[in-house]
Amino acid sequence: MVERRIPKVHDLAPLMQFKKPEFNARTRRLAAATSIADLRTIAKRVTPKAPFDYTDGAAEGEISLSRARQAFQDIEFHPSVLRDVSKVDTTREVLGKTSALPFGIAPTGFTRMMQTEGERAGATAAEAAGIPFTLSTMGTTSIEDVAAAAPGGRNWFQLYMWTDRDRSLALVDRAQAAGYDTLMVTVDTPVGGARLRDVKNGFSIPPALTPKTVINALPRPAWWINFLTTEPLAFASLDRWSGTVAALIDTMFDPTVGPDEVKFIREQWKGKLVVKGIQSVADARLAVELGADAIVLSNHGGRQLDRAPIPFHLLPAVVREVGTEVEVHLDTGIMNGADIVASVALGAQFTLIGRAYLYGLMAGGRQGVDRTISILSEEIRRTMKLLGVASLEELEPRHVTQLARLMPIGQPAANTVSALNG
């Protein structure tokens, strides 16, 4: 028989730990989020369908995106034990300067459509965290306003080469004058990808008020109040544009862009040059020859060519080919700090987050972006400690095995042809 007794007050006291209630719903929701997936769930609940799907979706069958995420799940870590990991160093030298974490914020278009704080939230959160922020050509906050919002931040600018070269150069000049230290030229967009969710949703900039969007907005009043009571949504860096979104894209995405255009930009830009959208070893080699300081292995988050190569799978081969000549960065599919640790172990100098950042932004504006960075930072530190490494420099290929799920039958000769060469 178990002997029972009446509990004494001094026995109950340690168990009675009542937390001070949090009355701010946004703060309460974000504090409860323990993963990027949690932030995505919140974002979906508070954001209208069209802007959420624009962020969440990818091209055609969304196969490229799902494969990229699966690639990170299909890894095996190999930890070392009996190591002192009481302190871990997450800093990384990136293009001549120190980043507090091995990731930065990727360029995203139409950002204030997702949440009204937009690029300002991303830039100021990045500044506070000590990591780079990249402003898109198709951003909704101007080059100058982002620089003013985060004067102590490390701001990069992403460029699409237009058919109108003078307008492209005007953006480059503005970024240089505003103190941006890195130019990221995106080369995987000769045309826009077929993003079918956007087609089905009748996506437009600004969002159209139709019976369907009004019904969808009813349970999300905060988004619409913010949208209707703040500055009109527009492409802030393109202050002379007065046409439609479709016409803008036709003008911006130039199918004739080749090596000469990248070489020309290299001659004009005085800072660091990054070429984004590399999807083969041959293209990586070409980018080096054109003067890039870094390349980004990326299939545009799966938003361009569906069934494109998986950047994480390409990483080891590209690092072997050009890793001693340029920095190799990586994006697409990153949803966990462990994904970033695995990328660094296989040779990536740096990584970029797009959707993970936008899920946080939609979930809670600047607070939400801070929470995204905090979650990834915690996951990176925890993974490093469990692997038995005290600094990013200690990570090596031996720490990670890429498990095979998609086995190529043969390597087509076309895969060695450079996209930059047309």
| Catalytic positions | 300
- Report the binding-site residues for FMN: 107-109, 136, 158, 186, 276, 298, 354-355
Q: How far is CA 357 from CA 231, 309, 419, in A?
A: 22, 23, 29
Which residue from 131, 127, 166, 172 is spatially nearest to 147, judged by alpha carbons? 127
Record the tokens describing residue 410, joined without a space: 């043969």
SS3 call for 295: strand
Q: How far apart are CA 298 and CA 348, in angstroms?
A: 12
Residue 9: exposure state from Cβ atoms within 10 A (0-12, 13-18, ≥19): exposed
- Conformational region of residue 388, where left means phi above 0, alpha means psi within -120 to 50, and beta covers everything else: left
- Conformational region of residue 251, where left means phi above 0, alpha means psi within -120 to 50, and beta covers everything else: alpha
Q: DSSP code of 8?
A: P
Q: Which residues pair with 133 in a beta bridge?
A: 105, 155
Do 283 and 309 form a contact (C-beta atoms < 8 A)? no
SS3 call for 321: helix
The terminus-to-terminus CA distance of the chain in angstroms comes to 83
- Report the binding-site residues: 54, 107-109, 136, 158, 160, 186, 195, 276, 298, 300, 303, 354-355
Q: How far apart are CA 406 and CA 214, in angstroms?
A: 43
- Report the binding-site residues for glyoxylate: 54, 160, 195, 300, 303
